[in-house]
Amino acid sequence: GAGVSQSPSNKVTEKGKDVELRCDPISGHTALYWYRQSLGQGLEFLIYFQGNSAPDKSGLPSDRFSAERTGGSVSTLTIQRTQQEDSAVYLCASSLSLLGYTFGSGTRLTVV
């Protein structure tokens, strides 16, 4: 597609449930990043994939968070046993060059 696509756009889940967030990057983009943004806060880096290299997981806040990228394209961010503090907008971005990222519109996760 023309841009980075994220789904779902909104997700409401109960505390303790697992959720999966999906990101379809721009075709051919080798780098993929996940960020999250809590209400009124800045962007927090979570994880980064570059080609076939091992992902940079240094931003994941706990072991309840994991992500994978299949076939160098689609990525799934999984949050296990969700907590209320996980409520945020989860943003995915992809990149091919130094021109920087193209961000998706995000998934708004609400844990109740």
Partner 1 sequence: DAKTTQPTSMDCAEGRAANLPCNHSTISGNEYVYWYRQIHSQGPQYIIHGLKNNETNEMASLIITEDRKSSTLILPHATLRDTAVYYCIVRGGNYGQNFVFGPGTRLSVLP
Residue ranges in contact with partner 1 by CB under 8 A: 4, 30-31, 33, 35, 42-43, 45, 48, 50, 56, 59, 91, 93, 95, 98-106
Q: Which is nearer to partner 1, 98 or 112 (CB)?
A: 98
Q: Which is nearer to partner 1, 2 or 98 (CB)?
A: 98
Q: With contact defined as beta carbons under 8 Å apart, do 93 and 35 qualify?
A: yes
Pairwise CA distance, residues 6 & 75, whole Å:
10
Q: Are strands 88-95 and 102-103 parallel, antiparallel or unpaired?
A: antiparallel
Q: Which is nearer to partner 1, 1 or 14 (CB)?
A: 1
At its nearest, how many Å lie between partner 1 and the CB of residue 18?
24
Q: Which is nearer to partner 1, 16 or 61 (CB)?
A: 61
Total length of the chain: 112
Q: How far separated are the first and last CA of the chain, in Å rounded?
A: 33
Q: With contact defined as beta carbons under 8 Å apart, do 10 and 111 qualify?
A: no
